[in-house]
Amino acid sequence: MNRTSSSRRSLIGAAVVAALALAPALTACGAGTDTSPPAAASPGASSTGAYDPNATIEIGSLYEPQNLDNTGGGGQGVTEAFNGNVYEGLFKLTDDGKVENLLATGYKVGADGLSYTFTLRDGVKFHSGKALTSADVKSSLEKVIGPASQSARKDSLSVIKSIETPDDSTVTVRLSAKSISFVYNLSYVWIVNAAAKDLATSEDGTGPYRLGTWKRGSTLSLSRFDGHWGTPATNKEVVFHYFTDASALDNALLTNAVDVVTSQQSPDALAQFTDNADYKVSDGHSTTKLLLAFNDRKAPFDKPLVRKAITSAIDNRKLLDSIWNGHGSLIGSMVPPTDPWYEDLTKINPYDVNLAKKELADAGFGGGFTFTLDTPNYDPHPTAAAFIKSELAKVGVTVNINVITADEWYTKVYKNHDFAATLQEHVNDRDVVWYGDPGFYWGYDDEQVIDWVKQAEQADSTDAQTALLKQVNRQIAEDAASDWLYLYPQIVVASADLQGYPINGLNSQFYAYGIKKSA
């Protein structure tokens, strides 16, 4: 009996693996004075052909929201679906990284730089019908900085000292310290009806869409809000279809089950769309960087020369081409092109094996050394780790790859700083300022950089802020604080019938209100 059942199980197992192997194809800043309402995003924002104003746009995504509250751990998915679509902020971050007025028509900064007075747009209504007032803005801000908030901007906005509402259309915020990024940070704060409840499963925003239905594990639909204050959405309904497998998502696009894929994760799957007149492929900039982060506190990576040597020993171009097949870009430091203080710094630590060997010898490691690379167990980290191990072997450095889960990474690396080097994706824009925090997990500690980051935040103008953060960016590159392996591409694949969808997808946002579908 036992033999028979074992035999059957093993054959079934063999069949499953065979099927897996043989049938892969099946799975296979500064605020401007703009007072215009939200405009359609590029590309093709200016429509030339006729479009159907009552179209339904089917969007395929890998990122389903955890819940519908971005201060309650809603995750990347709720930002993608709701930011700018269902909820609006006082300001918005455009697809090319600029901050524009949205629910605020403008603001004044006090002479001391510590008070900001915002004027709210007239005629704005929430989806429930209630008019927007300054009390809603106050409660929304308090929600983000409140003790229960899980917002990524909580720390940045903790400079808020008090919020006053002198009248229904004016909000005055006092800060405890000058913060040039304050207005930019406000573009992340959704203005929610102060009286709204159950925000994890429902919404009450001011955006061009209201929530239709959310079928967990399947779809989330948004329908056009006819009472919107600005230009109405150019489509009647948007349905986000959620997938857990990138190949299944591509198949959905091929069979017209979805019109657009928000973020293509496999460059090799692109072949089926690039030479096909029925589809358009756009290659934009993301803000996601893949880092080889050293523990700058501990030997041998406490020596900048060692870090520079490691950086020069790894052919980042080859790694990028291996993983993304010609998509994506090298940036040479932490700042992506969509940040105002971007500079191409790829020449500071060029790929040069001989230089790497010389730097290692100068640092006293001519005979090489061994270190452990804590590697998250999901793609592309294991592949990148194997590549790095192979590259560093050429300069006599031995890498032991330690594969860990995301939870282990959080505890071991991020919280306890118990690591030599690690791989990690950093998704946010404007995050070079983390190098000014010596308590951050990578432990980069340079007094000058700390001071520049502080000065930049308290700068009087965006020009001054930009100049200071450019200096920060250059300094961390010269110290090789980390090795910024590459910047991810943002590949959007869409049906040829579609235009007006965002191509950069900064911080995972995906404005759908400008998408037009051919009639």
| CB-nearer residue toward another protein: 266 or 458 | 266
Q: How far is the CB of 374 from another protein (least distance, A)?
A: 11
Number of neighbours of residue 366 by Cβ within 10 angstroms: 11
Q: How far is the CB of 299 from another protein (least distance, A)?
A: 23
| CB-nearer residue toward another protein: 188 or 324 | 324
Q: How far is the CB of 493 from another protein (least distance, A)?
A: 14
Task: Round to whole Å and give the CA distance between 435 and 317.
Answer: 24
Handedness of CA 388, 394, 395, 396 (dihedral sign): positive
Q: Which runs of consecutive H residues, i.e. helices, occur in 328-427?
A: 353-362, 381-393, 406-408
Q: How far is the CB of 3 from another protein (least distance, A)?
A: 6
| CB-nearer residue toward another protein: 254 or 427 | 254
Q: How far is the CB of 395 from another protein (least distance, A)?
A: 14
Q: How far is the CB of 456 from another protein (least distance, A)?
A: 39
| CB-nearer residue toward another protein: 13 or 49 | 13
| CB-nearer residue toward another protein: 209 or 273 | 273
Task: Round to whole Å and give the CA distance between 209 and 194.
Answer: 19
Q: Which runs of consecutive H residues, i.e. helices, occur in 98-179?
A: 134-145
Q: How far is the CB of 390 from another protein (least distance, A)?
A: 4
Q: How far is the CB of 417 from another protein (least distance, A)?
A: 19
Angle at 211 between CA 38 and CA 52, to 5 degrees: 55
DSSP-assigned letter for residue 102: S
Contact, 87 vs 511, CB < 8 A?
no
Binding site for another protein (CB under 8 A): 2-3, 6-7, 9-11, 13-14, 17-18, 20-22, 24-25, 27-28, 246-247, 266, 268-269, 271-272, 318, 321-323, 325, 375, 377-378, 382-383, 385-387, 389-391, 393, 401-403, 405
Q: How far is the CB of 324 from another protein (least distance, A)?
A: 10
| CB-nearer residue toward another protein: 5 or 33 | 5
Task: Round to whole Å and give the CA distance between 379 and 268.
Answer: 15
Q: How far is CA 40 from CA 164, 211, 510, in A?
A: 34, 20, 11
Contact, 41 vs 502, CB < 8 A?
yes
Would you give the distance in Å from CA 465 to the centre of its chain?
Answer: 22
Contact, 509 vs 84, CB < 8 A?
yes
DSSP-assigned letter for residue 270: G
Buried b (16+ CB within 10 A) or exposed e, 190-208: bbbbbebeebeeebbbbbb
| CB-nearer residue toward another protein: 221 or 375 | 375
| CB-nearer residue toward another protein: 378 or 463 | 378
Q: Give the list of residues 6+ apart from residue 207 with CB closer than 8 angstroms, or none.
A: 82, 84, 85, 86, 87, 88, 225, 228, 513
| CB-nearer residue toward another protein: 119 or 372 | 372
